Amino acid sequence: MSTLGDLGERLAALIMLVVVALLAGLTLGHNTDRLEELPGLLLMVPAAVALRGNIFGALGSRLGTAIHAGTFRLTLRPSSVVGENVLASLVLTLGTSVALAVLAKGAALVFGVAGSIDLADFIMISVVGGVLSSAAVLVAGLGLTSGSVRFGWDPDNVTAPLVTAVGDVATVPALVLASTLVGQQWPVLGVTAVSVIAIPVAVIAVIRAGRPGLRTILRESTPVLIIGILLDLVAGVTVERQLESFALFPALLVMLPAFLAVAGGIGGTLSSRLASQLHLGTIAPNRVPEARARADIMMSVGLAFPVFTVCGLLAHTFSSVSDLDSPGGGWLVAAALLGGVVATLMASIVAYYSTIASVRIGLDPDTYGIPLVTSVMDLLGVFTLILAVDLLAFT
């Protein structure tokens, strides 16, 4: 594919990511009262959203490599590449949803989130929201992968950002929907009991019965996903503490998922492309990026300018149409650009060095690259956006 065609695919996918993620942001913007009623819920949102992208973005990256290598076949048989990856993703979804709930409650206690919801509520919201959203993301991920084969798209350009987009738009409403069960004793106790008892048993059974490839994915994915949860929870604490400011201008909450998704999407796409090139031997894992890798990095940084501009403009437009207060289109564009370009530079560095580090120590960059990049960028993205907001407010 030509460089121009490559750029067009990536730009189109990222613009779609912005639009879809802004729809998720509208859910946050219209539920500021609920976020204030349930302290700790917003803390969990970045991590829950990131988990969908991390699990299924990595799945898409692995299947993209299979497409490039000519080993992809669309079948759900457990012995196939697709079946193995789907089963691993479902197991990871259940296990990490419980881990997220426990760690979220711990973070609320450690960072002093006053009056945070109970652990059982965290578990219920995380598991129910995770299962509902994962079903949608799995279907979308498989559809995008098979579409790449049928229509000749580069899966490295399309899968990572669009799976992230579906994860954003599905996860936030799913969490809000699950949160409506808070205060209802039997649903909360039932989900908690099933999660604590049945899920670990199911995970262990799958691991024991699984093929070596399945066990490898689970073994390599779990540590990086837990690290990602911890990073995203710090980001969530940062946002939770800014809730009063975000509630003043709900347009900021509308823009937040799209801003984080774009930073992670650009970095995730770069990581996926680099992973495929490393697998195919077209680039080497050098400390200093060679020409082909540098071209990909520069393209990623260049994409940040139009995509974050669109992000700010559409956040203002969506907020205005939805009767949500906004500080103004120009202000949102400036904040998105200032924070976004800095975040993209960081994402490019993280994407390159996390990918080559995975290869150098003998790990699969498809499994490690996207989760590390998106989780780090959720944390750094929150910081750069809040910094941009503070700087522009100061001036």
In the predicted model, is pLDDT for residue 268 greater than 90?
no
Tokens of 244: 């009063």
To the nearest whole percent, how much of the chain has pLDDT over 90? 11
| Cβ 347 vs Cβ 270: under 8 Å | yes
Q: Range with the lowest mean pLDDT among 41-55, 95-109, 154-168, 227-241?
A: 154-168
In the predicted model, is pLDDT for residue 186 greater than 50?
yes
In the predicted model, is pLDDT for residue 293 greater than 50?
yes
What's the average model confidence in pLDDT over 172-182?
86
What's the average model confidence in pLDDT over 230-238?
87
| Cβ 85 vs Cβ 63: under 8 Å | yes
For the CA atoms of 61, 64, 66, 71, the dihedral, rounded to the nearest 10 degrees, stands at 150
Instruction: Let me know how long the chain is.
Output: 395
Amino acid, res. 18: V
In the predicted model, is pLDDT for residue 135 greater than 50?
yes
Give the model's confidence band at 77: pLDDT under 50 very low, under 70 low, under 90 confident, else very high: low
